[in-house]
Structure 1
């Protein structure tokens, strides 16, 4: 089944708010993420809760799409983070029927390189390219059955894990090689 994002989810702009040192709501910004992962250790509430924030509070399974600039990505929000709202750098995507569409699947789809290239090719603005709400809402998605979605998500997760392990192995191999080569030329070496 094919659908447009606007048929399966709502897309809402993040908000701009003045920050305070001692708030009770987390204000998520692009620099709070590394790749698509939230850097939870550095988070601290910086907004004061008010009624105008209630409609913008994030819910479990909401997706945050970074639409401004050249580093576009989608992140998945988990409510264990605490009460939070997204900054205006994001669009908040809320799935209408989580029984037919897994948030993790939409997260995987929106981070797929081909989809990001497609969206970037349509971005507007010369100084700071931006993906518009309309572009996101009009994006077509092929919706497989839930079991296929689960499998795709799991394979994608395993691929990411494999990539992280390869990077870690390569970094350790470099350290070992550098140490071995330095040992050869190190002063007082009996070689």
Structure 2
């Protein structure tokens, strides 16, 4: 169980922060940039929940918790040394649940005739914002995984990829099941 007795520790005053393994790195390290982006995504989802219908709110509440799991995984890089605790990781079952939710939401939507602009209802607009932050998190995770000694779990990568898909479909649902989508008109302002 996590217990936070003191919020400030002064240990980061010199520009470093600690991973769950105890290793200290620069706050500018790509791993911390990635963790911070996952945290930003979680905060954006908190804003979405202010406008979400109850069924979507329940999904987003679970996803917010899962994003903390993802952050914990990213904060505990896989190393050669055994850990004194069980390493928390995103699982294939979590990815599969997202896929099922995407399929269920998408089944009620009309097929797209054009690209969708990030607009419409407050919930839809914020879901599109969350989608873009999820894509940035994914790019950072891929970049981190490409670095020697900086492994990122395959399920974690699949999870964030599916999550951005879910957020896109959820935005369409929030736009009156796609009926209020704002579609791109190619060359429409020429």
TM-score, L = length of structure 2? 0.24
Q: Hey, which of these two has a bigger chunk of helix by percent?
A: 2
TM-score, L = length of structure 1? 0.23
Q: Hey, which of these two has a bigger chunk of strand by percent?
A: 1
Larger radius of gyration: 1
